Amino acid sequence: MERFALVLIVLAFFLLAVWGMRAGWRRRARSQSVRVPPFPQVPGEPGEPGLEAAGLYVSTTTAGDWQNRIVTRGMGLRGRAVLRRYAGGVEVDRAGAPGFWIPEDAIAGVRRGSAIAGKVMGTDSLLIITWRLGEVELDTGFRGDDHGDYPQWIESLGRSTDPTESRPT
């Protein structure tokens, strides 16, 4: 009977921890939904993509704070994605989650990085796009299947930033 009580206490503690994590995620999403406007949708006719890369959408964070993940409106979900470069911007087409559009005039920079919320690596294997959404500046991280495409993306977007900015401190 003593062992049964101990198992119940451990199980209750585990369930309480899971509930606390879920409550924190939801509270963070509510507070961010006030500060971060809705992400732009892909235009109806964006044209032909100039570049396309398959890979993993890692996360979107506030610019300069690689651990402050944006979780509102489903943006905190990591998963497979395709990045497409059009004349008017960049489409992030996420599998099983809402995709979004990064307008050309909102892009402040693009760089290779080694860290963003949800992924830390020893090499610069992330493509990080810094862009403005309303009054908020964001970093969107993407890990492409072919890292050899990154120089084309950086050249295409034409606003390379210092790669050391994305390294964790």
Tell me the per-residue pLDDT of 92-134, one tens digit each, with 9 for 90 and over: 999 988 899 999 999 999 999 988 887 788 788 899 999 999 8
pLDDT band at 168 (very low <50, low <70, confident <90, very high): very low
Among the residue ranges 13-27, 134-148, 154-168, the one predicted with the least confidence is 154-168
Q: Kind and range of the H or E element at 115? A: strand 115-116
pLDDT > 90 in the chain, percent: 47
Alpha-carbon gap, residue 86 to 107, rounded angstroms = 13
Is the pTM of the predicted complex or chain greater than 0.85?
no
Please report whether residue 31 resides in a domain: no
pLDDT band at 72 (very low <50, low <70, confident <90, very high): confident
**Distance of alpha carbon 149 from the chain centroid:** 19
Among the residue ranges 12-16, 30-34, 59-63, 160-164, the one predicted with the least confidence is 160-164
Q: DSSP character for 37?
A: P
Please report whether residue 71 resides in a domain: yes
For residues 57 and 158, the model is more confident at 57
For residues 168 and 15, the model is more confident at 15
Number of domains in the chain: 1
Report residue 131 as tokens: 């862009």
Could you tell me the CATH number of the domain that includes residue 74?
Answer: 2.30.29.30
Please spell the DSSP secondary structure of 39-76, one letter per residue.
Answer: PPPPPS-----SEEEEEEEEEEEETT-TT-B--GGGTT
In this prediction, residue 169 carries a pLDDT of 37
Query: Any alpha helices (H) in the chain, and if so which ranges?
Result: 2-35, 150-157
For tokens 């939801």, what's the residue? Answer: 26
pLDDT band at 18 (very low <50, low <70, confident <90, very high): very high
Please report whether residue 108 resides in a domain: yes
In this prediction, residue 157 carries a pLDDT of 87
| Parent domain of 153 | 51-166
Report residue 17 as tokens: 């921890």
Contact 143, 58 (CB under 8 A): yes
Widest Cα–Cα separation across the chain: 69
What is the mean pLDDT of the segment spanning 5-26?
Answer: 92
pLDDT greater than 90 at residue 19: yes
Please report whether residue 38 resides in a domain: no
User: Among candidates 57, 58, 59, 61, which has minimal Cα distance to 32?
Assistant: 61
